[in-house]
């Protein structure tokens, strides 16, 4: 196929055999968030470029080199969203729903776009589920965000494979003092820093902490520590968070080098990381951004949130084989009808069953075929039972009920009794 008729590199189709696992993941998250009282918000996929520059920060990887930016036909610079927080903040401000200190606990799901080098766990269109909470400034809500992800890992069966890393970036004042100390220290080692870090030292010095360069990392071992520069407010907040995680029994490690790739964070930052996915180990990341709303033109409004990468988490479920049986089976019952009269009767019967069992996954064989070929299809569908309607069954107003997975002999069930019989045989997910 010519290249222009293929999908864009790093932008994937999610095929029918993969969607059940996606829906299992998204459905589990959605139910959990309902339970914790979060409400869904949906934002557009395209925003003015300025929105992301202002919020994420001009000197970040995302804005410097990862955004899909283009001119609209009328000359406006637009960008495919690289993340959700900026648009969410814009939306709450635009609609005034955080005004007067109103608490909002929001979540969203959808595609994000970053021009990165595609590889396992890293794509150019990827999907996130994000949470944002506005107007709660205490460590209790930071803890709630972490507690609910901990529950999610438990429900998905991947708790043992993820680790929580925590840090505090302090208030902007304490971060400013730390930045000065860090710059002063690194400047004395300037010639030994890698090129990227030399550049960052001028533009965004905290990001030097994030370097993958081993020599720079060695120098950083003796660098001043953020923890020593935290003011009382930030320190208390961080202690409060840790106490709550201890109370629930969630293990964590403090990672003083955790700074995150976006400029808007303050106080708490955290990442859930795994060693099961190779280099792309962060499955969920976030933190507090108390200054962001104001920076975007709103009244001072505390905020905290995180985003998780769906591709990486689905990969984890596959890698750890945490795929529940009922999601890999997409058909419960497969109805085979032989002859025109049986096909009509089968259609009517299927609709009656669906009236009574709305969650049943009942597939009606579309198209004729021999007995043999229909059974083959029934079996291949993964169904637990086949229903058979042929001349004999039509004459007796019954349906043949044939277990396909070795659960006993074929029986005849009266049409009127079919739904009740199915209800006893099939545990519905």
Q: What is the DSSP letter of 74?
A: T
Residue of 47, 27, 25 lying closest to 35 (CA atoms)? 27
Contacts (CB under 6 A) with ligand ATP, residues 31-50: none
What is the 3-class SS of 139-169, one letter each residue?
HHHHHHHHHHHHHHHHHHCCHHHEEEEEEEC
Closest CB to ligand ATP among residues 114, 200: 114
**Sheet containing 333-337: order of strands:** 362-364, 333-337, 385-389, 398-403, 411-414
Contacts (CB under 6 A) with ligand ATP, residues 232-261: 261
Per-position x/- string for 173-202, each x denoting binding to ligand ATP as judged by CB under 6 A, each - no binding: ------------------------------
State yes or no: residue 12 binds ligand ATP (CB under 6 A).
no
Sole binder of ligand ATP in the list 114, 200, 377, 402 (CB under 6 A): 114
Closest CB to ligand ATP among residues 126, 289: 126
Sole binder of ligand ATP in the list 169, 206, 241, 285 (CB under 6 A): 285
53-64 residues labelled b (16+ CB within 10 A) or e (exposed): bbbbbeebbbbe
Placement of tokens 């840790």 in the chain? 242
CB of 422 to ligand ATP, least distance (A): 41
CB of 110 to ligand ATP, least distance (A): 12
CB of 409 to ligand ATP, least distance (A): 50
Placement of tokens 């648009």 in the chain? 87
CB of 72 to ligand ATP, least distance (A): 25
Strands (E) across 178-281 are located at: 253-254, 266-274
Closest CB to ligand ATP among residues 121, 205: 121
CB of 91 to ligand ATP, least distance (A): 19
Tokens (6 digits) for 397: 């107003």
Sole binder of ligand ATP in the list 47, 83, 263, 343 (CB under 6 A): 83
Cα–Cα dist 241/141, whole Å: 9
Site stretch for ligand ATP (CB under 6 A), options 117-125, 185-193, 200-208, 214-222: 117-125
State yes or no: residue 309 binds ligand ATP (CB under 6 A).
yes
Long-range contacts of 209-215 (CB under 8 A, 24+ apart): 209/182, 209/256, 209/257, 209/259, 210/257, 210/259, 210/261
Q: What is the DSSP letter of 64?
A: I
Q: In the complex, which residues of this chain contact ligand ATP (CB under 6 A)?
A: 83, 114, 116, 121-123, 126, 128, 261, 280, 282-285, 307-309, 311-312
């Amino acid at each position: 196929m010519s290249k222009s008729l293929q999908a864009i590199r790093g932008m994937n189709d999610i095929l029918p055999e993969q969607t059940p696992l996606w829906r299992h993941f998204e459905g589990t998250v959605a139910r959990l968030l309902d339970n914790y009282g979060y409400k869904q918000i949906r934002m557009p996929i395209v925003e003015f470029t300025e929105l992301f520059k202002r919020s994420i920060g001009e000197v970040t990887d995302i804005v410097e080199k990862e955004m899909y930016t283009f001119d609209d036909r009328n000359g406006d610079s637009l960008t495919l969203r690289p993340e959700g927080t900026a648009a969410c903040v814009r939306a709450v401000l635009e609609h005034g729903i955080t005004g007067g200190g109103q608490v909002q606990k929001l979540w969203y799901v959808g595609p994000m776009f970053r021009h990165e080098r595609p590889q396992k766990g890293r794509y150019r269109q990827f999907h996130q589920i994000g949470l944002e909470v506005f107007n709660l400034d205490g460590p209790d809500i930071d803890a709630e965000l972490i507690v609910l992800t901990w529950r999610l890992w438990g429900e998905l069966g991947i708790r043992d494979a993820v680790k929580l890393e925590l840090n505090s970036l302090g208030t902007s004042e304490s971060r400013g003092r730390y930045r000065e100390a860090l710059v002063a220290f690194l400047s004395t080692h300037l010639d030994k820093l890698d090129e990227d870090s030399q550049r960052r030292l001028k533009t965004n010095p905290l990001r030097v902490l994030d370097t993958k360069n081993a020599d720079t990392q060695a120098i950083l071992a003796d660098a001043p520590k953020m923890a020593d520069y935290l003011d009382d407010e930030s320190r208390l907040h961080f202690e409060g968070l840790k106490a709550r995680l201890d109370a629930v029994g969630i293990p964590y490690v403090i990672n003083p080098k955790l700074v995150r790739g976006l400029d808007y964070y303050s106080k708490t930052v955290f990442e859930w990381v795994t060693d099961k996915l190779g280099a792309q180990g962060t499955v969920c990341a976030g933190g507090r951004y108390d200054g962001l709303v104001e920076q975007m033109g709103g009244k001072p409004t505390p905020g905290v949130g995180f985003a998780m990468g769906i591709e990486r988490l689905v990969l984890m479920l596959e890698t750890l084989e945490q795929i529940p049986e009922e999601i890999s089976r997409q058909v419960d019952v497969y109805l085979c009808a032989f002859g025109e009269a049986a096909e009509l009767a089968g259609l009517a019967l299927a609709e009656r069953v669906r009236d009574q069992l709305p969650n049943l996954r009942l597939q009606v064989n579309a198209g004729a075929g021999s007995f043999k070929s229909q059974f083959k299809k029934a079996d291949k569908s993964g169904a637990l039972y086949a229903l058979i309607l042929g001349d004999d069954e039509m004459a007796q107003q019954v349906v043949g009920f044939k277990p396909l997975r070795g659960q006993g002999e074929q029986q005849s069930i009266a049409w009127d009794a079919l739904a009740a019989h199915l209800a006893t045989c099939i545990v519905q997910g």
